[in-house]
Structure 1
């Protein structure tokens, strides 16, 4: 089973700007290219920040009034400086939350959630910009066909699990939902099939209809979820 990584879904042709890029040019770039943010790089293409629509909107917000009460309500003191910024370096968000190309999609999604960001510049080991991955890019894994998903479930979830014969377990997939039916010898085997199936890229959910002959979860020498003979 192929583990989907950031480099499977990221955009490689990245639009970037330098720290001295003027504010008006940033606005024109985001609107004309229909993107919500751009990485900021130095002279060696190392990422130093990100300018998003949210960063640029501080100036629009400040245009409605500059009383201390309005600014004091802002969550970060830096927002006040961004409202007066003229260049990318003055309005960008820094330090950057980035990702490596080898990062799994699950790990990238967790990083976005934890850091409250909508995209991650992708950098090499020296910090050079090589791509960008957004939340919508991470969803691309769920565009896999039902046939591809079914094939992975059969080859991965059933390959190492002790079943009585090749026809004991039936796998179907519709709109990303995997349905498992049939009978296996041990309860632990049934649980492992369902568990591995849920990890297949593109699976939306698993309808587990497997039954078993022997409940081996309490037997000595057998750990729950691990069938005999399976490492």
Structure 2
């Protein structure tokens, strides 16, 4: 999937010459925290967010620097700061360095950009023109659809093949020491791994297979240097709870 597949197409945006009041009202009425700013050709030239509106003279939050600090800054820097806290046009207050993604950008790149740049939304472009916007909420909706799809039914052979395919894609999985079985949708995992995190992650991979109804993770964790079997108390307790009359070993 890519950005164009999940973006919101009913784009809310403002022109750079629009009054700030109009943009703020648009954000409030639609309960959104940011707006792409477009020029007359429809290209993104900035973004207006709640963060841009925190320092404003109207609310008494513009902030005042000590006199000695003002002596350090050049007059142009101070004048620019005044424009941002007093300006009445969107272009005077917006953040001009706008991040965008192309409609063909894969979702993993979209998510990576959001994480590393710490942004909540990204305008989506096609041929340089803004055609939508993708937000964290859009990614969460995709997650919800994928989680729902995991409850679909499948035959045992298909479930086993799907789990094996996923495990083969992971470099940390010791495939030669693992055995998988699937009976009526119930997955059983046997074998040896060398780290508790491997055991847990393999169980997660099995749980994510479409059609898997339950997972019995019987993998044994062995300390690679000593050969000592590592026991996870939580896993032991879960296994005991699932077996009537059983009690954790002492």
Q: TM-score range by the shorter chain?
A: 0.5 to 0.7
Give 1:150 shift: 5.2
Distance 1:156 1:43, change over 3 A: farther
Counterpart position of 1:136: 137
Give secondary structure in 1 for the equivalent of 2:150: helix
2:107 to 101, 105, 108: 105
So what's the TM-score if we normalise by structure 2? 0.59
Max Rg structure = 2
- Listed as ranges, the matches of 1:195-210 within 5 Å are 197=205, 209=217
Give secondary structure in 2 for the equivalent of 1:39: strand
8 Å contact 1:7–1:101 — kept in the other structure? yes
Give secondary structure in 2 for the equivalent of 1:121: strand
Deviations 1:51-87 (A, max 9, x none): 11221222157734663239x69xx976553112221
Counterpart position of 1:222: none
So what's the TM-score if we normalise by structure 1? 0.63
Q: Which protein has the bigger helix share?
A: 2
Give secondary structure in 2 for the equivalent of 1:168: strand
2:51 to 27, 31, 54: 54
5+ residue gaps, structure 2:
71-76, 169-174, 221-250
Give secondary structure in 1 for the equivalent of 2:56: helix
1:23 to 3, 20, 23: 20
Distance 1:33 1:150, change over 3 A: closer
Query: Aligned residues, how many?
Result: 188
**1:182 is the counterpart of 2:189:** yes
CA distance in 2 between partners of 1:104 and 1:86 (Å) = 37
5+ residue gaps, structure 1:
173-178, 213-231
Using CA pairs under 8 Å that are at least 6 residues apart, name the structure with larger relative contact order, 1 or 2: 1
8 Å contact 1:157–1:196 — kept in the other structure? no
Counterpart position of 1:219: none
